[in-house]
Amino acid sequence: MYDKSVAELSQGLREGQFSSLEVTRSFLDRIAALDGNLNSFISVDEGAALRAAEDADRRLAAGDATALTGIPVAHKDIFCTEGLRTSCGSRMLDNFIPPYDATVIHRFKRAGAVMLGKTNMDEFAMGSSNETSYYGPARNPWDTQRVPGGSSGGSAAAVAGRLTPAATGTDTGGSIRQPAALCGITGLKPTYGRVSRLGMIAFASSLDQGGPMARSALDCALLLNTMAGHDPQDSTSSTVPAEDYSEGLDRPLDGLRIGLPSQYFNEGLDTATGERVRAALTELQSQGATLVEVSLPNSALSIPAYYIIAPAEASTNLSRFDGVRYGYRCQDPVDLQDLYSRTRAEGFGEEVKRRILVGTYALSAGYYDAYYKKAQQVRRLIKQDFMDCFEAVDVIAGPTTIGPAFALGAKIDNPIAMYLEDVYTLAVNLAGLPALSLPAGFVGGLPVGLQLIGRHFDESRLLHVAHRFQQATDWHLRAPDTIGSEAAR
């Protein structure tokens, strides 16, 4: 059961081959048996999941079903869920039980999907390895001594470990695509505003975007059909109409122009990873695509620009956590100042505090123009680089990461090395573009990803290209030996 994709499970449920209750029970049993090694979940609500599965079976029997009715899904623990802890991977929200559902959660429930639980993540989505989580790091199913990536590492590990058919994630600077690449699954970061941010706990409001994580592009398309669309309660939600992202995925690639930025294939890229990415591009070329050399001259500035803009927005967003209204509160404060300072010192982890301090400094009087304003000007140049490239090509492609998953603990004490893990993904968020990572092969037994970047609201094209690649390859079907999968390599 656990080796079936979302599309296969959906078809089987509609045809009555099995029930949602059977499918849900199968995945809950796997979580209980295997997640002790992966630590991919923070919370599992077995009772609610089984009740939702029973409701889904009634909808299926009545013929009132969507493509996701009865499908188990895990959600990153950054989406508010009514009555179920939403911790954001932090001690600060360890006791927080939201009184409402995020729009994304509401849409999955309305579609009849079954929520298995909430997945592990870097604290407040700040990290590239899942090691900043208050609940300890999630582990990569391909090698449990290595990171799954971050910040959506728990979602990626759970999908790769076949503990859930699909999961949601969020991407502020690569937090869907990077863990998808390191865990050998498919992950899509939609255009900014394509998926509602209501009820998604904010890190950097102009960068955060929710998206799907699953085994294949087809599965991601089915999830995006539920997630995408205007939300009148979210002022950043786009009014551009959503599409049926699962339509037309089989059409040929003839005439497709794929841009290859020289800056993505430089000396910083692991040699073997680069070879796998180029082999994947050759496969797309054999299907009718044309490879075109392009340039993103300001891409090297994405890291310094991002690590001013994102911390600045984080310092503002996280100021609400003060021990007064909800979340963690220090013991026996002597006055209001002591309440604020000790609550934040004890409730936030080191990486979160580091970014709050950087962001507050960048926004302070005398430094705003020199740092934050300048970073926003650079952001505009980075976006323009992409716009110029899309005059000549339809899709931009390159590696998702500089190499395969690194060992747990290898970079946790070196923030600069950790930040460099996102060198190929950050610019996409600064430009607000959609991008997708898909499995492109293995290096030393570990998966690596191919990244596809599209024009604004061109998610359909990205999914189409990824689907065609996956029709010709089996990288996305392979699974770790350690999980007892029939599809294990």
In whole angstroms, give the CA distance from residue 173 to residue 401: 12
Q: Of 76, 118, 189, 411, which one is the catalytic site residue?
A: 76
Quick one: residue 469, left, alpha or beta (phi over 0 = left, psi -120 to 50 = alpha)? alpha
* Rounded Cα–Cα distance for residues 189 and 211 (Å): 5
Torsion region of 127: left, alpha or beta (phi above 0 gives left; psi -120 to 50 gives alpha): left
Structure tokens at 109: 């429930």
Contact yes or no for 242/194 (Cβ under 8 A): yes
257-261 and 210-214: which strand pairing?
unpaired
76 is known as an active-site residue: yes
| Catalytic member of 20, 90, 128, 151 | 151
CA distance 281 to 260: 9
Please give the structure tokens belonging to residue 203.
Answer: 């890190």
Cα separation values, 245 from 442, 452, 462, 464, Å: 28, 16, 10, 9
Catalytic residue, chosen from 87, 175, 216, 437, is: 175
Instruction: State the Cα–Cα distance between residues 260 and 124, nearest whole angstrom.
Output: 33
Given a contact cutoff of 8 angstroms between Cβ atoms, the answer to whether 216 and 473 are in contact is no
Bridge partners of residue 118, in order along the sequence: 43, 75
Give catalytic status of residue 175 as yes or no. Answer: yes
* Residues labelled catalytic: 76, 151, 175
